[in-house]
Amino acid sequence: MAIQSCVDVRNEWDIVSARQLGRDLAKDLGFSSVDQARITTAISELARNIYLYAGNGRICIEPIEEGNRRGLRIIANDTGPGIQDIRKVMEDGYTTSGGLGAGLPGVKRLMDEFAIHSTVDVGTEIHITKWLR
């Protein structure tokens, strides 16, 4: 019954479309205005990473249920250059773009769950989840 909605990210406008989709779904699910802002911002950061580093990729968003918990899962994947050293990109303040993105540690703090898989020359996939409180 969970329906996945996706946005292809190729240009700056797609970043806006991805976060608008996230905001609409978060609102429908009944997230508070603060959590809506967290989810929307996290999507914006991941979409910008795709645009900046991979050139193109995709953001998919789906409502999820686990036991009696409900939440929203966001999957960002790209077929870009991949990340050489994941430990390094998870350090606060690390940047290769001169600080254009807040980076992945910020996204992790905004959400409840965060997982990243990346293979050099293959691409990167990031899963983030926020649970309804």
54 vs 120 by CB, closer to another protein: 54
CA distances from 37 to 32, 59, 84, 123 (A): 9, 17, 30, 27
65 vs 92 by CB, closer to another protein: 92
Q: Provide the sign of the torsion angle of the four alpha carbons 87, 117, 59, 32, taken in this order.
A: negative
Backbone angles phi, psi at 117, to 5 degrees: -130, 130
Q: At its nearest, how many Å lie between another protein and the CB of residue 76?
A: 14
The residues of the shown chain that bind another protein, judged by CB under 8 A, are: 12-13, 15-16, 19-20, 23, 33-34, 36-38, 40-41, 44-45, 48, 92, 99-103, 105-107, 109-110
Per DSSP, 105 falls in state: H
Q: At its nearest, how many Å lie between another protein and the CB of residue 16?
A: 5
Q: At its nearest, how many Å lie between another protein and the CB of residue 66?
A: 23
14 vs 78 by CB, closer to another protein: 14
Distance separating alpha carbons of residues 99 and 95, to the nearest angstrom: 6
Q: At its nearest, how many Å lie between another protein and the CB of residue 121?
A: 27
31 vs 124 by CB, closer to another protein: 31
CA distances from 35 to 30, 72, 112 (A): 10, 11, 11
